[in-house]
Structure 1
C-alpha cells in the first residue's frame, strides 16, 4: 500500500495542466484560454491514438486540452519539488481518436473559433461536453510530443532531472511598455516552468498568448489563413458583436475572436491571482516578419537567442468584461514599426476652407481643382487663337468657282487622279474631268456595261508603267465578290474577275505596282507583278493573286507604309466603363509572307479608331484619329519593326472623323463640318487654319489627289461630307501665304492714323451713382479718371460689373425666368432703371468734363446683362469714320444659361481697322482657375457673335467679324477674378507695408497662366506694368482689406489687357486705380494709343500681284518635295 500511495502521489503531482482544465471542480473555465495558433507549416492539432492501455486514469478526467497561457500551467510547488513522487507517477492516457475534416485555406483568420465564455458552460466551470471535445481537436501535436518524451519512453519511469531536448522557439515581439509589470506569482511561475518537463509546451503556449494580434489583410497568405476545424454540424460563426455583450447560449460552437480585448477581469471565472486575461489570439509572427517566397512551405523558425520582453499585468479596474479595451485597435508589433497614417499625400494642397456664410458673387470659394488626368488632357488642346479662317478653295479652271459635285454619303465612293474624278453609287458611275467642265463626261449604268444587278462598293486607280495609262484604269470591287476594271477614257470595261472573293469587296488599295483587294471576311488578295517579267503591269486577268487572311468585321482599314492597319469598334481593352476603353489595333505585314499580324494598343485612353495618316515631313510616324477628339502617335522606326504608341493627345472637343497629312500640316475633319490644320512641330500643337467646309455636317473623309502634283502642279485635297458634297481644297494653303506676305508689306499701300482710347472698369457692387455724391474722393472719381488723359480721347469705354445686386435671389430668379418679357414689365423697369441711372451718369460726367473744351461725344453702343453694363462713347469728329457698330452678350453662368458671369462685347470699325471691347466677369473663387480659363476661352472662341461683315480688309486671318479674334484690336477688361496664390496673410501685409509688389505679382494667377500655360487663351495678350495695390477685397466704406471672418486675400481681380495683330500699333499710356470706397473693389482705368489703317485699294492690288509671283516659285519647291514623299510611299 505504501508503494501504491507513493505512485498515486507522484501521478497526481505530475498531472499536467491539460488534465486539470478537464477536471470537474476547482479549475478555470475554458473561456479563459484562447485557441491554439496553427503551426507555421499549416498543420493543426489532431487527436492521437492511445499507446498505453495498461495505465489507469482517474474517472474525472474527460479529455486533454491545449493551453495557451503560462498562468494556466501552475501546479502545487510541492508536487514539482518532490522528484521521488514525480518518478512514481504514471502519465495519463491520450484522448480518443476523432476524425477531422480537411482544412480549407480560404477562411479568414477572424473566423477561428475561441472557447466559450464562462456563462456558456454548464455551470461547473468546465464547460459542456461539446466544448471539451472541441478542445481536444484544437490541441497541437507538438504539445503532446512534449509529453511523450518523459512518459512514453522505452524505460519504465524517468526522473524530472533528466534533460529534454527542445526545438527552437520563435521569439515573441516586445509588448507595449504600458503592459510590462511583474508580480511575484509570475516570477515563481517562471521558475516552476523552467524545472518542469513540460516547459517547452508551456513556453510555446505563453508565446502564443503574449503575441499581440495581427491585423487581417486582404492579400493574406494561405498558410496563415488556415482555419481551425469545427464541428460540421455547427453553424458558421457570427461576426464580432458590438457592446453590450451578447447573451451566451450553451451548446453553440465557439464564437470568433473579438477585435478588441478587455483588460477587465472575467467576473464569472474563478481566479486566485490578479493577472489580467490572456491577450487575444494572433497568427504566427514568423510569416508576418519574413514572408516566404513559396507559400506552400513553412517559414523557418526564428532563433531563440532573442528573448522576448516580459509582459507584466496591468492593475485591475472594476469594469464590465465586455467593454472595449482602449488598446484594442493596437497595430501588431513586428520587426519594423508601422508607417505613419496620412490622409493627404505629400505635396498635395490643403483642401479649400469651408464657406462660413453666403457672400457676394466674388466670395464664392469653390473646391480646389485637382490635377486629374482629364484636366491634364484638356491642357493639350491646340491653341486656336491665331488660326486663319480663310477658305483654301481650289479650282482646276482658272477664273471659275470651285466645282460643286455630289455623291451619296452612305453607299457612294469617290476617287481622284489629277483633274479626273470617279463617283460611284450602287449601279451608277460618274466620270468627271474638272479641267473641262463640272458636268460628268460619262454617267454609266451597270446595265449598260453588261453587269446587271452589280453594286460597286470600292474603287482604286491601278498602277501602270506607261505614263499615258497612269490614272486611266480603275479597279472596282463589287458586292458579289467580283473585281472589274474600267477605262475612264472610254467608259468601257476592259477586264473582269468574277467571284474573286466569296464576300463583298469592301476595300481596294494600291501600293507601288501592286493592288490589294479586301473583303468583309478579312480575306485579302494581293496582285503583284511577275518577278520573271517585271516590265509587265498587274493584270486582273492574268496575274495570280496571293491570299492573305486578316481580321473580319473591321470598321477601319487603311494601308500605311506597306502594312495593313485594321480596327473594329467591338474590339477594345479595358473594363466595362466607356471612359477606360482602349481600342485594339491589328497590323498585318501583308507583303511579307513570313511576318504574321500583331495586335497593338494605344498607351492611354482614347476613343475608337476612325482614321490614320502619315505626314510627309515625318514619314516615320503614323497619326491615328479617334473618337472623343483624340489623336494617337505611333513610331514606325522600332527595333522589332512593329509600330509602338508614343503619345496620345486631345486636339478637339468633337470626334476626329478623318485625318490626312498634307504638306507640313495635319488636317482633321470633325462632326461639326470643320476642317482644321495643325502644326505638330511643337507641343501643344498650334491650329494654323480652321474653316467651315461642310455646313455643320460631319466630314466623312479627307484624301490627297497626289496625281494632281504631276499633271496640274497642284496639291489637291478632296473632302467628302455628310451634306453629300465633294469639295476640293488647296493643300498648300497658298491664300494664307499670300495674305501673310501682304501684311508684312502693308505700309506700302496703307496710311495710318492714331486714335486715343480710354477704358474704365469697375465692379461697383450694386452701388448707385448717388453714392458718389458724398463728397471727398468719391465725388472726384470721374474727374480723376478724365484727368488721366492729356487730350480728349476719341473713344471712351465704361465697363461696369455687378450693377445690380447679384445676391438678391428674388431678382436673380426673376431675371432668369422672366428676362425675356417685354419692356413694359415691372421687372424690366426695375432692372433697366439701375442701368439707366449709370447711363445718365456717364453722359453727364462726359459732357461736364469735355463740353467746355468744345468736344462732344455720342453713346454709340449700350448693353447690359445681369449686372454687366457696357457703354461706348465715340467723339464726334470728321477725322475718322466709325462703322460696323455692333454689341452682343455671352452668358457663362450656370453652364451658359445665366448671365451673372459672361461678357458684353462691343465692336466698331474705324478706317480699315476693327476694334473689339470685351467687358467680362469670370468665375469667382480662389481655386477656380480652370473655370476662369474655360470662361475666357469660350468668350474668345464663340462663333457667330456678330453678323458677317463685307469689309474683309478690316479683319484679320481671313475672318469676317463674326468672332472676337477676327478683329485687329481686342481689349479685354473687367473683373477677371484671378487671385494671388500666397497662403499666408502675413506675406501680403508685409509686402504692402514695404511697398514691394514684385513678390505678390510673382504669385498672380493671371500672370502665371500667361507665362506657363501654353493653351491659355489670353497668352497672346499684353498687360501694362502693375504699380498699384490690389483692387480686391476691401471692406466697403473703408481702406482696410477684408476683415470679415473669411479674411480673403487681396488680389488684382480687375484687369485690362489688349491684343493687336501688329504689337507696335497699340501702346498703353497709363494704367492706374482710383480710391473709391463705396464697393469692395477699386476701379481701374487705362489709356491707349491705337494706330488704325486706311488701305489704298489700287496700291494693294499691285502689291498682291508681286506677292503672287513670288508664291509661284515657292509653290514649285513645295510640290517637288511632296511628290518625292508620295513616291517613297509607293503611291505614285
Structure 2
C-alpha cells in the first residue's frame, strides 16, 4: 500500500492544546429546518436590502427605498420613498399603547440624517439633519427613549418630550462619545453594551442634563483569546448574561451585574454574523449559511438544532418578542447577503418541542429490550483467510472472538485492505484507462475471489456458534468489505435494510478510500453501521476530517415506513433515515488513520512503560474531538482505550515498524458509537493477530431498542399537543408582561 507516511509536523502539543475543551455537545442536535407551517416561508424583496427590522407582524426593509411587509401573509404592504437618502439603520419608535407599536419608524442614513416615517400613511413625517457627522450605525430603543449612533462614535440620546411623552426629532438630544467604528451594540436594561475590535465597553446613557457617569467600565478584558466582535444578544429567559459573537467562531459571555467576562466558548471555526436570544435559547447565524440553536443554561452548551438555512452567506438575523402576542407565533427572520430573501423560521421550535415531549414520555407507548452487538474492525493488509493457519496463535482468532462475545444478537465485521497492493494499484490505474477489446477483468475477478474467501471463512466461524445466525448482507468497495450476521430468532424483527458506498479517494472518484454504510430497523429502532478507511499519512489530519464529513453527510436509500409508522418514532434529529445521523444508534469503525503527534522513540518508550494515558494525549483523533468544534465525530463516543497502538507492526511479529520510514505507532483502528442512553459498551480490545501490519480491534455493546404501540402513541400525541397549547398560552402571557415591564416603562 503506497501511502504518505512521512513524520511531518511531529512533536508534543502544549498542555493547553490537548486539554479537554468544553465545546457544545451536539450529540442530540435536531437537523430539521424549523419551518413555520402557519406562515409564508420566504419573502423575496427583489431589491438590494441593506438593513431590516421587525415589530409584531411587520417587517421593514430599507436601503434606497423603505418597503413594508406582513409576516403573517408574506405580502408587500407598500413603501416609503426617500430618494435623496440611503438608509443604514432602522429603529421602531415606541408608542404609549401596545396596540400602536410598529407604526412609526426612525431611519438613519449614510449622510447622518435622521428620518421619521409613518408606515400607515407611507410617508416621511419628520427629518433631522446635522445631528450626526457620519453614517448612522445603529438606532436603539430603551423604554420610551431612542438612541442613535454613527460610525465616528457620536452618540445621541433622545429623551421623552412634553405632550405625548415620546422622543421627537424636533427635540434636543444629549450628545455623548463612544468608540469609533462600534460593533455589536446592544441595550441591556438601561445600559448600552458596545464592542470595538476585541473589547467590550459599557455605558449608561442619560437623557437629562443631570451629571451621570456615561462610561461605566473600562474595556473589559477577555480571559481567553478571541477575534473581533461581530454581533451580540441577550436571552429573554436569562437575566444574568450578555453574549458577544466574534469573527473566529467564539462567543464571550459576560455577567450583567459585575460586567466581567465569565468565559469564551468556541462554537465554530467560522465567523459569526448574527445572534438572537429566542425564548430560552441562543440562535447563531454564520456566513456559511448555517444556523445553530444553543441551550446555554448548562455546561457544556447543548446544541439543540442546526440546519442549512441558506445556500449563500447570511447577512442578518432578527426576532421581535412582541410578535408572539400579535401573531400567536415567534417568527425569527434571516436574510441572505446576495439575493435579499427574508426567510421566516419558527422561533418557538414547535415540532422539536413536541418530539422532545414524546421522547420524555416514551415509556407510555414503547416496550424496550436489550440486544448485544459485536463489532470487529481490521485492516487485514491483503491477507487471505488461509494465512490464519500459518501460526498457532492466529488459527483460533475468529473462534475466540466470537466465543468471548457470548452469542451476540448482531455480529458486524468491517475489513479494510482486503485486496493486494499490486491489484489495488492496477485497479486505480484502470480507472483512468479506456478498456480495449482484449482487456481482461483479472483484477475484479481476484478481488471478488478475495471477498468470497473471507465471507466463507467468517460464515464458517459464525455457523459454529450454538445459536443460529443468518447473513443479513455483505458489501464491498475496492479494499473495503462489510458483512452483518443476525440471530435467526431476530429475522422477523429486521426490516428496511439498505446500504450505500462512499468514495473519498482521489477527490471522491475512487474507492481506495471511503466507506460502506449499512443500515436496518430492528423492532422500531434504527441502526446504522459505517465501515471506513480514511486518508493516510502522518500530516493528513484535515483530509481525514473531510473524509469523515463526506461519509456522515452522504445519503442512504429512503426507508419504507408503514402506514401507521412515523419517522419520528424510528429516526432522530428530525431525520427521515436518508442520512447516517438520522439513525438512533450509529457505529463508525475502520482504519481511521489518525496518528500520534509524537516522535517514535518517545512513543515507544511510553508504550514500554505502559503509559498509554499519557500517549493518548498526543492522539490526533482525540485532539480533534477536543480542539475542533466542527469535527463530525464529536457527537460520537469511544470506549476507553486500554490496549497498545494497533499500527504499524512488522508482519508476523510484535515489533513496531522497523522499515526505512520507522513510523510512529498509532491507534489507527477504532470503533466509535452514538446513541445517548441507548448504547452501553461492555468491552473494547485489540487482538494479537500477526498476519497484517494492523491488529484487529473489537467492541462489544448492549443496545436498547424499542417497539412502539401505535394506539398508545396516538394518546400520547394528543396529550403532547394539549401540553404545547398550554405552553404557548403561557409564553404569550409572559412575553406581553415582559414587554410592558421593560419597554413600556420610562
Using the TM superposition, name which of 957-966 and 836-845 deviates more: 957-966
The residue aligned with 2:95 is 464
Q: CA deviation at 1:513?
A: 0.5
The whole-number CA distance in structure 2 between the counterparts of 1:455 and 1:1053 is 59
In the superposition, relative to structure 1, how do residues 1078 and 919 fare at CA in structure 2: closer, same or farther (>3 Å)?
same
Rounded Cα–Cα distance in structure 2 between residues aligned with 1:627 and 1:1011: 21
Number of the residue aligned with 2:107: 476
Q: Distance in 2 between matches of 1:825 and 1:669?
A: 56
Q: Determine the C-alpha separation between the residues in 2 that align with 1:964 and 1:765.
A: 27
**One of 148, 171, 176 as aligned partner of 1:517:** 148
CA contact (8 A) 1:409 1:721 kept: no
Change (3 A) 1:1121 1:948: farther
Contact 2:65 2:80 in 1 (8 A): yes
Unaligned runs of 5+ in 2: 562-566
Unaligned runs of 5+ in 1: 1-357, 569-581, 992-998
Distance in 2, matches of 1:433 and 1:765, equals 61
Q: Structure 1 779/633 Cα, relative in aligned 2: closer, same or farther at 3 Å?
A: closer
1:690 to 306, 309, 323: 306
What is residue 145 of structure 1 aligned with on the other side?
none
After TM superposition, give the deviation of residue 1013 of structure 1 in Å. 5.0
Residues 876-912 of structure 1 show CA distances to partners (whole Å, capped at 9, x for unaligned) of: 8850343251323364x89999977664433334453
Alpha-carbon shift at residue 632 of structure 1 (Å)? 3.0
Q: Is 1:673–1:692's contact at 8 Å kept on the other side of the alignment?
A: yes
Kindly state the Cα deviation for residue 705 of structure 1 after the two structures are TM-superposed: 0.9
Contact 1:980–1:1004, Cα closer than 8 Å, also in 2? no
Could you say which structure has the larger radius of gyration?
1
Q: Is the 8 A contact 1:463 1:537 kept in 2?
A: no
> Within 2, Cα distance between the matches of 1:1093 and 1:381?
31
Which residue does the alignment assign to 2:34? 392
In structure 2, how many angstroms separate the alpha carbons of the residues matched to 1:916 and 1:1089? Answer: 15
Q: Establish whether residue 845 from structure 1 lines up as the match of residue 457 from structure 2.
A: yes
Which residue of 1 is the match for residue 716 of structure 2?
Answer: 1103
User: Pick from 47, 64, 78: which aligns with 1:443?
Assistant: 78
SS at match of 1:615: coil
Greater RCO (Cα-Cα under 8 Å, separation 6 or more) = 2
Alpha carbons of structure 1 residues 409 and 520: separation in structure 2 relative to 1, 3 Å: farther
- Verify the 8 A CA contact 1:670 1:698 in the aligned structure 2: yes
2:129 aligned residue (492, 499, 508): 499
Partner SS state of residue 628, structure 1:
coil
Following superposition, the deviation at residue 965 of structure 1 comes to 2.9
Which position in structure 2 is the counterpart of 1:916? Answer: 528
**Compared CA separation, residues 551 and 377, structure 1 to 2 (3 A):** farther
| 2:651 counterpart residue number | 1036
How far off its partner does 1:1106 sit? 0.6
* 1:540 equivalent in alignment to 2:183: no
1:633 to 253, 260, 266: 253
SS at match of 2:251: strand
Distance 1:625 1:1042, change over 3 A: closer
Does the 8 Å CA contact 1:742/1:1103 hold for their aligned counterparts? yes
- Offset from partner CA, 1:805-836 (integer Å, 9 cap, x none): 66x8x966x77776466788999957645642
Greater share of strand:
2
Relative to structure 1, the CA distance from residue 606 to residue 988 in structure 2 (aligned partners, 3 Å threshold; closer, same or farther) is: closer
- The answer as to 2:238 corresponding to 1:622 is no
Cα separation, 1, equivalents of 2:106 and 2:609:
80
CA offsets, 1:333-356, max 9 Å, x none?
A: xxxxxxxxxxxxxxxxxxxxxxxx
TM-score of the pair, normalised by structure 1: 0.55
Which residue in the other structure is 1:4 paired with?
A: none
**1:161 equivalent in structure 2:** none
Greater displacement, 956-965 / 660-669:
956-965
The answer to whether 1:939 aligns with 2:548 is yes
Q: Offset of 1:868 from its aligned partner?
A: 3.7
- For the residues of structure 1 that align with 2:183 and 2:512, how far apart are their CA atoms? 46
Matched, 1:1081 2:718: no
1:421 aligns with 2:79: no
Any conservation in 1 of the 2:138–2:148 contact (CA below 8 Å)?
A: yes
Provide the C-alpha distance between the structure 1 equivalents of 2:439 and 2:703, rounded to a whole number of angstroms: 40
Q: CA deviation at 1:922?
A: 5.9
Counting matched residue pairs gives 721
Supply the distance in 2 between the matched residues of 1:1024 and 1:428 (Cα, whole angstroms).
60
Mapping of 1:94-493 within 5 angstroms?
367-371=10-14, 375=17, 379=21, 381-394=23-36, 400-407=38-45, 410-424=48-62, 426-432=64-70, 434=72, 437-440=73-76, 442-444=77-79, 446=81, 456-478=87-109, 483-488=114-119, 490-493=120-123
Correspondence for 1:326:
none
Q: Contact 2:18–2:623 at 8 Å: present in 1 too?
A: no
3-state SS of paired residue (1:600) = coil
Answer whether contact 1:584 1:599 (CA < 8 A) is retained: no
| Partner SS for 2:234 | strand
- Does 2:575 match 1:959? yes
- Name 1:609's counterpart in structure 2: 229
For residues 733 and 469 of structure 1, the distance between their equivalents in structure 2, rounded to whole angstroms, comes to 28
> Using the alignment, how far apart are the partners of 2:139 and 2:2 within structure 1?
66
Partner of 1:720: 335
Kept in 1, the 8 Å contact 2:41–2:345? The answer is: no
* Residue-by-residue CA offset, 1:237-288 (whole Å, 9 max, x unaligned): xxxxxxxxxxxxxxxxxxxxxxxxxxxxxxxxxxxxxxxxxxxxxxxxxxxx
Given the alignment of the two structures, is residue 869 of structure 1 paired with residue 481 of structure 2, yes or no? yes
CA distance in 2, matches of 1:607, 1:1077: 50
Asked if 1 retains the 8 angstrom alpha-carbon contact of 2:183 and 2:231, the reply is no
* Deviation of 1:675 (Å): 0.9
Residue in 2 that maps onto 1:801: 416
Task: Report the secondary structure of 1:611's partner residue.
Answer: strand
- What is the deviation of 1:367? 1.0
Contact between 1:752 and 1:1094, CA under 8 Å: does it hold in 2? yes
Once the two structures are TM-superposed, the CA of residue 620 in structure 1 deviates from its matched residue by 4.8
Is the 1:860–1:874 contact (alpha carbons within 8 Å) kept by the matching residues of 2? no
Distance 2:191 2:322 in 1: 22
CA 499–1029 in structure 1, closer or farther in 2 if over 3 Å, else same: closer
Distance of 1:509 and 1:383 partners within structure 2: 34
The Cα of 1:657 is off from its aligned counterpart by 0.7
Q: Secondary structure at the match of 1:1103?
A: helix
**2-structure distance, mates of 1:377, 1:500:** 55
Whole-angstrom CA distance in 2 between matches of 1:386 and 1:980: 31
What is the deviation of 1:986?
8.1
Partner of 1:591: 206
Check whether the contact 2:26–2:303 (CA below 8 A) recurs between aligned residues. yes
Residue 738 (structure 1) aligned with residue 354 (structure 2): yes
Q: CA deviation at 1:653?
A: 1.6
> CA separation in 2, counterparts of 1:462 and 1:418?
13
Alpha-carbon separation, structure 1, partners of 2:325 and 2:440: 67
Instruction: Give 1:496 deviation, angstroms.
Output: 1.5
**Counterpart Cα distance in 1 of 2:483 and 2:85:** 68
Equivalents in 2 of 1:1049, 1:932: separation in Å?
15
How many Å apart are 1:538 and its aligned residue? Answer: 1.9
The answer for the alignment partner of 1:71 in structure 2 is: none
Per-residue CA deviation, residues 896-939 of structure 1 (Å, 9 max, x unaligned), is 999776644333344533222122446789xx7x9779947972
* Corresponding residue of 2:564: none
**Among candidates 879, 885, 898, match of residue 498 of structure 2:** 885
Structure 1 residue 658 displacement after superposition: 0.7
Q: 2:86–2:109: 8 Å Cα contact kept in structure 1? A: yes
Residue 751 of structure 1 and its aligned partner are, at CA, apart by 5.0
Show the counterpart of 1:167: none
CA distance in 2, matches of 1:370, 1:729: 43
Residues 517-569 of structure 1: CA distance to partner in whole angstroms, max 9, x if unpaired? 34555544432114xx4x7322536534334455666566554444555667x
Instruction: State the alpha-carbon separation in 2 of the partners of residues 600 and 612 from structure 1.
Output: 16
